[in-house]
Amino acid sequence: MSASLRVPTAPDRAVPLPAPHVSPGAATALLDAYRPGSDRFLASARHTLLGTGTSAEVPDDSRPLGVRVREVLETRRRAGDPAPIVMGALPFAPDAPPSLAVPRSVRRAPALCDDPLIAIPGPSAEPGTWQTREVPEPGAYAAAVSSAVRRMRAGEFDKVVLARTLELTSSRDLDLAAMLRRLAQHDPKGYTFAVPTGPDRTLIGASPELLVARRASRLTANPLAGSAPRSNDLAEDVRRAAALLESPKDLHEHAVVVDAVRESLAPFCVSLDVPAHPTLVRTAAMWHLSTTVTGTLADPGVSSLDLAASLHPTPAVCGTPTDVARAVIAESEPFDRGAYTGMVGWQDADGDGEWVVTIRCAEAEGRSLRLFAGAGVVAASSPEAETAETGAKFRTFLSAVGAAL
């Protein structure tokens, strides 16, 4: 599997809307207005949303999630809310409770990348004293990768995504609003988010990966799999990009994910366009192999969350076969993933919405941050390379908080 080199200026995204004619500062004003605890902030290449307060929460019960979300939205619409939306996050574990709610009010603006004020540098992260703890330690993580590789070479399964965490404790109160601003400026064309996931707990991050978006009868998905760290040296950076496009290991990993996305979405569609070869996309820290999948829905009643639920978890965050990969993750990772590798996004009462894979993120609670990073492990994986990849992925968030690994 090979592809020609294409180096866009930012990751591929959902089909963008034309930039509306608005005054500069509309999107950054929402970013500046964000307040942790009560607000929900989501930014994509299409628009920027800021939800304030809570008018209704999606319940945690045995009914399908899509049914619960539709019921809450319809109830709010009958109560007089002309355009209710659900915002929030869903965890990696299928039986864990969601963190989804209808905000009391929602302000909307164009995409951050269309707001020229996003380029104005904000205050740098103030130096503080950070205590850090890696869970597991790099050596233990490499050993888990080695074990998984041996089992795959023995034919037990095909792929697993193994993660590790970096626990940071600050000597001062966390300034989540400032962190969010720096994450957004780091990649204004990305998916930047901050949503509450519990009392005094916030999920905050900047994901490069769209799980799925629905707009009327059209859907877009953008699976990413196969990665390489960026380099500050231009020649080396280009060499790494070209090598990623020709890497049998990474191309295989990517193909597994794209095939799973095709298999999950095809039953919903009258047409589905899946490019034969991946392209390259870049973030500030990483190169990724990317495929943008588009389709036309057969049933307009299928919501964005219905589509997202059919995809989650993709092999890009779990592995394949899914059940075996989940078991290996449970055996190998000495922590609960929580919202990491779940999804974060929004949906309106008509079923339109965007759901993003929850990566490049942290959970903030009190003065502590728990960062997450994972790597796709296949039979050709190197424990040293996968450990280094997770370290590179931590850099997105570490730069926003003024800490180092």
Q: What are phi and psi of 308, to 5 degrees?
A: -60, -40
Q: What are phi and psi of 116, to 5 degrees?
A: -60, -20
* Residue from 342, 332, 404, 339 nearest 365 by CA: 339
Total residues found in the chain within this entry: 405
Q: Which helix (H) or strand (E) holds 27?
A: helix 26-33
* Active-site entry in 209, 253, 386, 389: 209
Residues 6+ apart with CB under 8 A from 314: 211, 223, 257, 260, 261, 264, 357
* Active-site entry in 134, 159, 189, 253: 159
Amino acid letter, 36:
P
How many Cα neighbours within 13 Å face the side chain of 173? 4
* Contact criterion met (CB below 8 Å) for 28 and 112: yes
Query: Would you state the structure tokens that stand for residue 317, as one six-digit string?
Result: 């965050």
Buried b (16+ CB within 10 A) or exposed e, 286-323: bbbbbbbbbbebeeeebbbbbbbbbbbbbbbbbbbeee
159 is catalytic: yes
363 is catalytic: no
The residues carrying an active-site annotation are 159, 209
